[in-house]
Chain A
Amino acid sequence: MLRLLLLVPTTTYRTQDFVEAARGLDVDMVVASERPNVLSERLPDNLLTLDFADPEKAARAVAALARIKPFNAVVPVDDRTTVVAAAIAAALGLPGNSVAAVAATRNKHRMREALSKAGVPSPPYLLFTLADDPARAARQAPYPSVLKPTLLAASRGVIRADNEREFVAAWRRIEAILKTDEVAALGAGADQILVEGFIPGREVALEGLLVKGVLRVLALFDKPDPLDGPFFEETIYVTPSRLPADTETAIADVTAWAARALGLSDGPIHAELRVNEGGPWVIEIAARSIGGLCSRTLRFGTGLTLEELILRHALGIEIESLERAPGPTGVMMIPIPRGGILEEVRGLPAAKAVPGIEEITITIHPGQEVVPLPEGSRYLGFIFARGVTPEVVEVALREAHRRLDFGIAPRERA
């Protein structure tokens, strides 16, 4: 029986979809997290605890286990475990991306350096640290500019500034995020702020699989809500894209170029690009699949989920087809309108009744704190839709969202 090691952070959105996919395969599933599972002591061979912050240490620990029972594949389920997965794969002699390539995708500055060096269309950039004088940095920045922490993901701490005053205000806000214990614990680079030139245009997300260095496009998502700042909250993804075919080809070509520039050659990638009259520009590329619960919009061949496809690829199990199952689909990551304590969600039945809506999943529980961007790192939930055209999908998502009402009490009252 094939043996699979899944690297699952305790707070990832991706647990259910990957664990379910693994369970559907005839494999011996081993799950590793950064904190002990409650049943780890009962199942020490199958529920591991690894130090995700120290990839070499984690790799040594897994290599010791593999000498007794070898692994056939190691799969990271999200951004937080891509580097440690690469280190483990290298230690076990399994195929995969190099640690250096994956590490570059986890640091926005190193990514920019690699893309710029290769000539991949991407924003101009400057790197600062919190030790720098923000007023002086503001005088050097291009405008409009986008300030972002080099180590955080999913638009967290990403702020647009149109002038020096806004730049310094954005810097101070990011500084507060970077000084939280949670972010400071990320170590080297946690005090860095990358300043990029703002690239206008429509944003898209490309979901792909690298097979022996060749990019296979799994899905291209339009993001119909303008992402012009000051914060960059992702909301609606709809596939297939409504862009012209030649533009889609150009997006795929530039994404493949970016992957090569970073040295990525194997496994899933998720890329975000802007498209304007100058063509596609790479905003980010990650060595992982789409985040949140968004993969639930996708099926391949006769019904394979994205996670099943990724696991099959990693384990060398035949994949019938990489073609996305037909039919426009979409997802809305429900934005957090204001901070506070979530008391209740009203309107769910009415929202679910909107034609085309397949499911609505609320992922924050009543009584929990909700924090909007740029400080927050969670969504209220996800709305999934299917329709005869991408336009119909988008309309359904917006209407379902309109029917939802989130009771959020101020923190001090709750």
Chain B
Amino acid sequence: MKPFVISKPKIKTKRKWTFEGFLGVPYQAVIGFLIVIPIVLMLIYSFQSRASSQTFTLIFTLDNYLRFINEPIFVSLMAESIGLAFVATLISLLIGYPLAYIIARSNTKTKTLLILLITAPMWINMLLRTKALEQVILMTAPELIGTNVAIIIGMTYVYLPFMVLPIYTVLSKIDMSLYESASDLGANKLQTLIKVIIPLSISGVLSGIMMVFLPSATTLVVPKYLGAGRFLIGNLIENAMIAQGDFGYGSSIALLMAGLILIFLYLIKKVDKYTEGGDE
């Protein structure tokens, strides 16, 4: 009797697995052909020299990576983009954190309305939003177009919601009673904020920084409209890839950025674990 009892459900699960496994084939094909293979290709191209990038003969070179240090135009544009994105991220944080804090501490009804108002512009095409901002700057202070100030305003305007959302998500998870216990224990509002709330929301802050900084540093649109056609790193990539078909160039930059993100994600995970552990 025993083997019979065991074998029956086994057959059943196996049949189900085959059918449902089959359902996943298109998805696995998308992952394989459109996500994994492109990464492998970028890796290969990033170590290819310029001349060989079309014919695909394997000649190993570090030229594409050495450019990050050697080529003056690249280095200065990279520094400029990072600098502008850094300031924009800082401003987004200074505006976004209090904003997220205020929203998280509102009552449920106001909360949904405010989150909706903050996120609604994200549904509008980014080019149109940048265009709209350009129009307002042209109306109020046209001399700003083309300056760093306009570019920073643009980056902040376009990416601010990406700072508010993750911080809000973390803040709204914080138990309200923590505020009360902190004040019961004699902490004033500022102390509660610095000693309790901010440390608990670090993972949201890091996510926000990542989601504002990287797109800001690589945007094509903001420098084009608000920088009066100025070139930043995104435009350099655009030019290298689309106009000149230099695959190695873009690939190495893309991989560098992907590496940066991995580091960021690792940090966020680490900080998150720390707060969870500290909670208990």
Q: Do A and B bind each other?
A: no
Instruction: Point out residues on A near B: beta carbons under 8 Å.
Output: none
Residues of B within 8 A of A (CB): none
